[in-house]
């Protein structure tokens, strides 16, 4: 009998998956979990033959924790069942040791087939992802000018337009015009998408003598991890996805309260923690004070949907290095925070 463990933070999704695979002969679902902390407890207790997992769960860092599960349970089959189809994310998880990757929007019959194939020892990637990865592999490198390569390297290093202007000796307006044409040539809409494009196209710089690129996510991974502390699970998940998209190899933890956050920081050094001022009935400023005492090397940033000068003053006094309005927390702001923390 094949023993299967389901891991997804939505009970209704777990129920749907269990129903979809219920007709597979000699297969039994032995357990269900909804977060990363419960996952490793269940793996040790139940010793499943196969893990069906959505890797965007709370308290779960996709690349690192999948690698950990693969190291501890080398014979266990791992099938990711996710709504997230970013090709860098998919390739990172495949490299970390999963046996298959299936999208949630595919027919249930395909999920049954995916489970059967994985259990038979085959690698499974659902059709839409196969098409996307093949297109990526077969994409011909663009013909870029030396100036365009220089601009891309500047973007990759995180320089803003003024920094690029100083590096290249061009005016800021000329840099803006060059970038507009470059974005159009790459088929992207923004600076972040251009950086993502570089990640996806290793041959974009042409000759082997082109200056080496240090991946921000690799640099971040060597500088430990990041923690999100917020009582709103949906918001934590949103932040995790934004960060994971920009830094696929980043180790991201999340917590809904002070005690859970404290357990995480005590488990190993963290480089950066983002803490909401309001944590249910708790005070995020008190949480910062506790975390600062337990891990003084961790950079602590407070954020709130209700920015207040007094919150700002108290937060800095408690050990925070910055205070952000939640409406200003976007991909660019997160990248600036993370890059600053990894210097």
Residue 303's pLDDT is what?
86
Half-sphere exposure of 187 (CA within 13 A, CB side): 5
- Superfamily for the 2-136 domain: Response regulator (3.40.50.2300)
Residue with the larger pLDDT of the pair 187 and 10: 10
Q: Round to whole Å and give the CA distance between 72 and 141.
A: 39
Q: In sequence order, what are the beta bridge partners of 225? A: 270
* pLDDT of 223 strictly over 80: no
What pLDDT is recorded for position 172? 83
What number is the average pLDDT over the span 114-132?
88
Residues 23, 17 contacting (CB under 8 angstroms) = no
* Cβ–Cβ < 8 Å for 251, 202: no
- Whether 161 has a pLDDT exceeding 90, the answer reads no
Mean pLDDT of 199-222: 46
Average pLDDT over residues 194-218: 52
Give a three-class secondary structure readout of the chain.
CEEEEEECCCHHHHHHHHHHCCCCCCEEEEEEECCHHHHHHHHHHHCCCEEEECCCCCCCCHHHHHHHHHHHCCCCEEEEEECCCCHHHHHHHHHHCCCEEEECCCCHHHHHHHHHHHHCCCCEECHHHHHHHHHHHHCCCCCCCHHHHHHHHHHHCCCCHHHHHHHHCCCHHHHHHHHHHHHHHHCCCCHHHHHHHHHHCHHHHCCCCCCCCCCHHHHHHHCCEEEEECCCHHHHHHHHHHHHHHCCCCCEEEECCHHHHHHHHHCCCEEEEEEECEECCEEHHHHHHHHHHHCCCCEEEEEECCCCHHHHHHHHHHCCCEEEEHHHCCHHHHHHHHHHHCC
Supply the pLDDT for residue 226. Answer: 85
Convert the pLDDT of each residue in 134-152 to its tens digit. Answer: 665 555 456 778 888 888 8
Looking at residue 136, its pLDDT comes to 55
Residue 194: pLDDT over 60: yes
- Residue percentage of the chain with pLDDT more than 70: 83
pTM of the model: 0.45
HSE value, Cβ hemisphere, 13 Å, CA-based, for 278? 10
Q: What is the pLDDT of residue 285?
A: 92
pLDDT level of residue 88 (50, 70, 90 thresholds): low
Average pLDDT over every residue of 227-249: 83
Q: What is the pLDDT of residues 256-282, one digit of tens each?
A: 999 988 888 887 668 889 999 888 888
* 168-191 pLDDT tens trace: 888 888 888 888 888 877 767 677
Q: Report the sign of the C-alpha dihedral through residues 342, 158, 319, 253, in that order.
A: negative
On the question of pLDDT at 2 being above 90, the answer is: yes
Q: 131-140, 241-250, 309-318: lowest mean pLDDT where?
A: 131-140
**What pLDDT sits at residue 220?**
40
Mean pLDDT of 338-342: 66
CB neighbours of residue 60 within 10 Å: 25
Place of tokens 């597979």: 24
pLDDT at site 102? 93
Q: Greater confidence, 12 or 50?
A: 50
CA distance 300 to 122: 44
CATH 3.40.190.10 fits 146-205, yes or no: no
Q: What percent of the chain has pLDDT over 90?
A: 29
Listed by start position, the domains of the chain span: 2-136, 146-205, 217-341
Whole-angstrom distance, CA of residue 140 vs CA of residue 283: 53
> So what's the pLDDT on residue 183?
81
* Mean pLDDT along residues 300-326: 83
User: Which of 40-49, 65-74, 90-99, 115-124 has the weakest average pLDDT?
Assistant: 90-99
Minimum mean pLDDT range among 72-86, 245-259, 264-278, 328-342 = 328-342
Residues 6+ apart with CB under 8 A from 301: 272, 273, 274, 275, 320, 321, 322, 323, 324, 337
Distance CA 261, CA 234 (A): 17
- Supply the pLDDT for residue 135: 62
Q: Do domains 2-136 and 217-341 have the same CATH topology?
A: yes
Looking up tokens 């791992």 gives: 78
Q: What is the CATH superfamily name and number for domain 217-341?
A: Response regulator (3.40.50.2300)
């Amino acid at each position: 009998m094949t023993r299967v463990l389901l891991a997804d933070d939505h009970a209704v999704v777990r129920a749907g998956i269990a129903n979809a695979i219920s007709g597979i002969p000699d297969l039994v679902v032995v357990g269900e979990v909804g977060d990363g902390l419960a996952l490793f407890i269940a793996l040790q207790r139940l010793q499943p033959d196969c893990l069906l997992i959505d890797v965007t769960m709370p308290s779960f860092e996709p690349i690192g924790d999948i690698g950990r599960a693969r190291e501890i349970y080398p014979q266990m089959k791992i099938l990711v069942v996710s709504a997230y189809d970013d090709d860098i994310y998919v390739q990172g998880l495949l490299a970390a040791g999963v046996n298959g990757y299936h999208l949630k929007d595919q027919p249930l019959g395909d999920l049954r087939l995916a489970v059967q194939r994985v259990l038979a020892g085959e690698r499974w990637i659902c059709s839409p992802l196969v098409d996307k990865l093949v297109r990526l592999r077969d994409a011909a490198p663009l013909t870029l000018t030396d100036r365009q390569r220089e601009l891309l390297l500047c973007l990759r290093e995180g320089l803003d337009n003024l920094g690029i202007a100083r590096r290249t000796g061009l005016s800021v307006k000329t840099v803006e015009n060059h970038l507009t044409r470059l974005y159009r040539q790459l088929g992207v809409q923004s600076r972040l998408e251009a950086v993502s494009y570089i990640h996806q196209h290793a041959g974009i710089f042409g000759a082997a003598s082109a200056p080496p690129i240090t991946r921000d996510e690799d640099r971040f991974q060597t500088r430990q991890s990041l923690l999100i502390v917020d009582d709103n699970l949906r918001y934590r998940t949103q932040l995790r996805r934004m960060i994971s998209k920009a830094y696929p190899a980043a180790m991201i933890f999340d917590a809904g309260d002070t005690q859970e956050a404290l357990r995480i920081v005590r488990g190993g050094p963290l480089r950066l923690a983002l803490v909401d001022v309001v944590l249910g009935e708790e005070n995020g400023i008190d949480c910062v004070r506790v975390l600062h005492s337990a891990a003084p090397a961790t950079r602590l940033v407070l954020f709130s949907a209700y920015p207040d000068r007094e919150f700002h003053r108290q937060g800095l006094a408690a050990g925070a290095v910055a205070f952000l309005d939640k409406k200003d927390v976007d991909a660019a702001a997160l990248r600036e925070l993370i890059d600053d923390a990894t210097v």
